[in-house]
Chain A
Amino acid sequence: MRITNNLVLRRVLRDLEMSRRRLNDLQVQVSSGKRILKPEDDPFGTGKALGIRTALRVNESYLRILEASRNWLTVTEAALQTIGSALQKAYVLALGASNDSLGEDERVLVAIEVEELLRQAVSAANTRHHNRFIFSGYQTHTEPFELDDLTFDVTYNGDGGKIEHEIEPGHMLVVNLPGNLEAFSEPFNALRDLLTDLRTPGATGDTIKDNITKIEEAENALLEQIATIGARAQAVERIDERLRQFDIALQEQLSKVEDLDMAEGVMRMMNQELAYQTLLQVAATLSQPTLIEFLR
Chain B
Amino acid sequence: MTGFLGLDIALRSLMAHQQAMEIVSHNIANVNTPGYSRQRPVFTSEAAYYSAMSAEAGLMGMGVRLSQIRRMSADFISTQVRLEKHSYSKWAIIRDTLQQIQAIISEPSEGSLSGVMDEFWAAWRDLSVDPQSTALRANVYERGASLASTLNTYSEQLVSARRSFNLLINETVRDVNDIVQELAALNVQIVAVLAVGDQPNDLRDRRDLLLDTLAELVDVTVSEEENGATTVLLRGHHLVMGAVAGELATVSVAEDPTLLNIVFQDTSELVRIDGGKLAGIIEARDSVITDVLDDLDTIAATLVSQVNDVHAAGYGLDGVTGRDFFEGSSAADIALSSAVADLSHIATASADPTDPTVGGPGDGSNATAIAQIADALLLNDGRASIGEYYRAMVATLGLDAGHANQMAASSRVLVDHLEDRREQVSGVSLDEETVDLIRYQRAYQAAARLVSVINEMLDDLIALGRG
Contacts and interface: CB of A to CB of B under 8 A. Distances in A.
A6 B35 CA distance: 11
Contact of A68 (B102, B119, B129, B132): B129
B423 A138 contact: no
B419 interface: yes
A65 B130 CA distance: 10
Interface stretch (B144-152, B339-347, B428-436): B428-436
Contact of B420 (A7, A140, A141, A258): A7
Contact of B360 (A4, A41, A140): A140
B399 interface: yes
B58 interface: no
Contacts of A11: 420
A89 interface: no
Given A58-B118, A140-B362, A291-B434, A4 B423 contact: yes
Nearest to B118: A57
A242 interface: no
Contacts of B427: 2, 4-7
B371 interface: yes
Contact of A43 (B121, B365, B402): B402
A7 B401 CA distance: 31
Given A51-B391, A161-B363, A39 B401 contact: yes
Residue among B115, B133, B429 with most chain A CB within 10 A: B429
A159 B353 CA distance: 11
B98 interface: yes
Nearest to B108: A49
Residue among B356, B362, B425, B429 with most chain A CB within 10 A: B362
Nearest to B31: A5
Contact of B430 (A2, A5, A51, A258): A5
Interface string B25-43: 0000001100000000000
A202 interface: no
A123 to B, nearest CB: 20
A51 B432 CA distance: 63
A163 interface: yes
A36 B429 contact: no
Contact of B391 (A6, A47, A142, A165): A47
A53 B434 contact: no
A61 B129 contact: no
Contacts of A136: 360, 362
Interface residues of B, number: 67
A61 B432 CA distance: 76
Interface residues of A, number: 59
A36 B108 contact: yes
Contact of B115 (A6, A51, A57): A57
A103 to B, nearest CB: 47
Interface in B379-399: 387-388, 390-392, 394-399
B102 A38 contact: yes
B364 interface: yes
Given A3-B429, A138-B359, A166-B368, A39 B434 contact: no
A43 B396 contact: yes
Contacts of A130: 130, 133
B109 to A, nearest CB: 9
B416 interface: yes
Contact of B394 (A46, A62, A64, A172): A46
Interface in A225-263: 258
A142 B356 contact: yes
Interface string B364-378: 110010011011000
Interface in B320-365: 349, 353, 356-357, 359-365
Contact of B122 (A46, A60, A172): A60
B302 interface: no
Interface in B72-99: 98-99
B455 interface: no
B425 A2 contact: yes
A8 to B, nearest CB: 10
A63 B362 CA distance: 21
Given A47-B392, A60-B122, A130-B130, A41 B398 contact: yes
Contact of B416 (A14, A39, A138): A14
Interface string B410-444: 00000010011001110111111011001000000
Residue among B118, B372, B387, B424 with most chain A CB within 10 A: B118
Contact of A290 (B107, B125, B434): B434
A230 B266 CA distance: 86
A68 B122 CA distance: 14
Nearest to A58: B118
Given A138-B362, A139-B360, A166-B371, A131 B395 contact: no
21 contacts: A5-B430, A10-B416, A10-B423, A38-B99, A39-B398, A40-B98, A40-B102, A40-B402, A40-B405, A49-B108, A50-B394, A53-B118, A138-B349, A138-B353, A138-B363, A139-B361, A158-B360, A159-B357, A164-B365, A290-B431, A295-B438
Given A138-B363, A166-B368, 15 more contacts: A2-B429, A4-B428, A14-B416, A38-B398, A39-B102, A40-B401, A65-B126, A130-B133, A132-B362, A139-B360, A140-B132, A140-B360, A142-B360, A159-B356, A295-B438
- 4 closest Cβ pairs, A-B complex: A138-B360, A39-B398, A43-B398, A4-B427
